[in-house]
Chains A and B, each alone.
Chain A
Amino acid sequence: MSRRSLALSLVLAMSLMALPLAAHVTPNVQLLKKGRFIAHALVGASRFFERHLKLDAADRKVLEKETGWVPSSDDTKIYTGRTKDGTLVGTAVFLWMPSEHGPVGVGVAFDPRGKILDAAVTDVGSEPLAWVQPLIDAGGLSAFKGLAEDATPDPGAIAPAVKGRMSRYYAKVIADAVARAQAVEELSRKAAAGK
């Protein structure tokens, strides 16, 4: 093979190499880092833990009945914040909600008795972002602050001034995520206390 042929081959190979770079999967958009959410919501906590919740058959049935959902092992990871002396400040649950146009990641922080301290959309698919962003901009998720453990999250309370049909659909997706987080948190609290 002559030098010229080899050089031509190299150029051709490099050009072909660039082709796959054009193809890509639409990524999710990270709106808020989980660590930042936890640090902001669990004020006073200086030590953090990952709690692995393993459910028995009865609790699994309760959860499925309440939420119509079977969690993945990642969904049953609960993050706890404690003070230096080990006192529980609160917990946080992060869930992914599937939706027609892409996933929505929601974080919910609870106080030690299950009252909601804060809720936020942490990640969202780039397509639903257009409908979720107005809800966030209107401070919609603050509607859940202070919600008691046995209260049902109301999608209508999320930024009621935002009227778009798709935004209202995503308000329901977010409220469902909060309800699931409440159910997981309650079971986690009971499991941690040994029932």
Chain B
Amino acid sequence: MGKLPASPLEVRAAAVLFLLLLGPANFFGAWQVKNFASFTPAGVAATVAPGGPGESDTSAASTSSATEQPISLAALDQPRHHIEQKLLVEDSHVHIPVYAMIAALLSLVIFGLRLSSRVRVLLVAAAFAAPFLDFAGLWGAHLFPNAGVAFGTVAVVGGFAMGAVYTVVLFVTLYQCGLRPVKE
């Protein structure tokens, strides 16, 4: 524990490069969220709410009905993206294992940093809890649309927590492995 700053150059380089490469991945991930979902709880809830485009609307009303709400023609051409259940399953299947691997790799880096045990425990717990919260929020908003905004908040908090853990680990690693003079 805590030996990364004093480890050989190649070990420190691997840790720093891993974190630097993860940075663009996080940046594009955030861009993807901006393009296809939202950074607000209500936006997240609307994106994953059940019954979106592409989902065959198999639920039948007791009688056919039509309700109208005003729109502007300009708004009509704004791209709207919806994540239906099949896509949410696919997203979960792809993202959750990758998030688990990233959390595990971040944990390895955290083990090597010169931090108190309490801080390490906190960071490791946050690294795993953040993606869990993210997907718990997405599925909650999909399955319980009436509480969509609450679950959307959980997803947004989880997403930002992932970014926060990464940022803390990146800067502590850069400081301890590159910027601060190391006493062997």
Residues of A with Cβ closer than 8 Å to B?
A: 1-2, 5-6, 9-10, 12-13, 16-17, 20, 33-36, 38-39, 47-57, 59-60, 70-76, 78-80, 187-188, 190-192, 195
Q: Is the CB of B52 within 8 A of A48?
A: no
Q: Which of B64, B67, B72 contacts A56 (CB 8 A)?
A: B64
- CA distance in complex: A55, B20 (Å): 52
Evaluate whether A17 and B24 lie within 8 angstroms (CB atoms) in the complex, with A6-B178, A50-B69 already known: yes
Cα distance A32–B154 in the bound complex, in angstroms:
39
CB atoms of B76 and A192 under 8 A apart? no
Knowing A74-B53, A76-B57 touch, does A49 contact B20 (C-beta < 8 A)?
no
Question: In the docked arrangement, what's the CA distance between A78 and B65, Å?
Answer: 12
Complex: A47 Cα to B55 Cα, angstroms: 29
B184 within 8 A of A: no
Closest to A55 in B: B64
* Contact pick for A53, options B13, B64, B77, CB 8 Å: B64
Cβ-defined contact, A48 with B66, below 8 A: no
Docked complex Cα distance between A38 and B73 (Å): 8
Q: Which positions 44-67 of chain B face chain A at CB distance < 8 Å?
A: 51-58, 60-67
B162 to chain A, nearest CB (A): 19
CA distance A158 to B66 in the complex (A): 32
Whole-angstrom CA separation of A9 from B170 in the bound complex: 14
Residues of A close to B94: CB separation below 8 A: none
Bound CA span A191–B66, Å:
6
Distance to closest chain A CB from B114 (angstroms): 15
Find B17's partner among A9, A49, A60 (CB 8 Å cutoff).
A9
The answer to whether B58 and A35 have CB atoms under 8 Å apart is: no
Closest to B178 in A: A1
* A70 touching B56, Cβ below 8 Å: yes
Chain A neighbourhood of B73, CB < 8 A: 34-36, 38-39, 48
Residues of B within 8 A of A70 (CB): 56-58
* CB atoms of B52 and A9 under 8 A apart: no
Contacts of B16 in A (CB 8 A): 1, 6, 9
* B97 on interface, CB distance cutoff 8 Å: no
